[in-house]
Amino acid sequence: MQLRSRISEIVSIEIPTDTLE
């Protein structure tokens, strides 16, 4: 199941990478 990859992509788009830093 590649659900993790899908969620990762969606999260990356929804939440800016700057916020994760």
- The pLDDT assigned to 9 comes to 84
Length of the chain: 21
* Rg, Å, the chain Cα set: 9
- The pLDDT assigned to 14 comes to 74
* Whole-number Å distance between alpha carbons of 21 and 5: 20
The tens digit of pLDDT for each residue in 3-14 reads 888 888 888 777
Residue of higher predicted confidence among 16 and 7: 7
* Whole-number Å distance between alpha carbons of 4 and 18: 21
- The pLDDT assigned to 15 comes to 67
- Record the pTM: 0.28
